[in-house]
Copies of this chain bind each other. A is one copy, B any other.
Amino acid sequence: MAQKDQKNLHSINHKEKIAVIGAGAIGLFYGGLLAKSGYNVHFLMRKDLDLVKERGLIIEWGKETFHLYPVQAFSSTPQIGPCKWVIIALKSSANDVLLELLPPLLSPETVLVCFQNGIDNEKWLYENFGPRVVIGGILFVCINRTGPGKVTNFGFGKVELGQFNSLPGKEVNEFESMLRNAGIATEKVNSLEEARWKKLVWNIPFNGLSVAAGGIDVAEILARPELERATRELMEEIINAARAMGYAINHDFIELQLTKTRKMGNYKPSSLFDYFEKRPLEIEAIWGRPLKKAREKGINLPKLQLLYALLDSLNSRM
């Protein structure tokens, strides 16, 4: 799937409206790359709005800095109006506000693209705004919002794209071409749920332990033998649960993940930023729903249960 799909490439209408909801690192980065490539991107943002309208958006990338100006930035979704593509890059913990934000952006043709962590966000979008095509994007990226309207990229990989409750259809192909035109590697997945569970194998331990162990990065987790062991055993639990649900994740995936993570250096998982900045954790999407889904199948996950209980308590006190 790495080769360019010329047919789809040529069919893309660069004037089709795209809305990016959420002006954190994810929204600014992917929205910024699409806008840079000539796509018609509209950003919804609040606190950074004036600055971004006046000075534009900055993406730092190694020693390079990319400056996007002007930026189509808006403070409300009625100002944007109906779009072909709506990229949702808010924290899943803030999904309730989408009930108010999204309707002005929707036409019958609107495709929702979910760039959120955890499971079942696409299901929630489909149930609240469907029937329509809902695409899930699983991001392999290390980016931080390093200032108002500013994102720093510490390395990024592919975006996995799947479609809720369906094999990938033509909308996934179109969106994939848009990302590729913007210089982003992509891979289509036949089972969005399986890909989301696979991502959980990393997110559940690293996002969770980084917070519950007192605010530490991935290198510090792996430097403590008992935390590394906890990481492995959490990964085993998740893989066992995923396999029991019919998803094909092998146990050797654990070593791959650990090797990959050791190369990330002092990377801070997104939940660690939530913790430092006293924002709500994505508690249900990353830990709560997987635990409950496994329980419904009669699968007991003792470590995830404890981690969820602790994070839920910490989250209620932030």
Contacts and interface: CB of A to CB of B under 8 A. Distances in A.
Given A212-B212, A302-B233, A227 B313 contact: yes
A16 to B, nearest CB: 45
B233 A310 contact: no
Interface in A217-233: 220, 224, 226-227, 229-230, 233
A112 to B, nearest CB: 31
Contacts of A317: 214-216
A303 to B, nearest CB: 5
Contacts of A245: none
A306 B309 contact: no
Contacts of A234: 306
A314 interface: yes
B310 A209 contact: yes
A179 interface: no
A315 to B, nearest CB: 9
A44 B201 CA distance: 52
B214 A309 contact: no
17 contacts: A209-B309, A209-B310, A212-B310, A213-B309, A213-B313, A213-B314, A214-B310, A224-B309, A226-B312, A229-B305, A230-B305, A233-B306, A302-B303, A303-B305, A303-B306, A306-B306, A310-B310
Interface of A: 209, 212-216, 220, 224, 226-227, 229-230, 233-234, 237, 302-303, 305-310, 312-314, 317
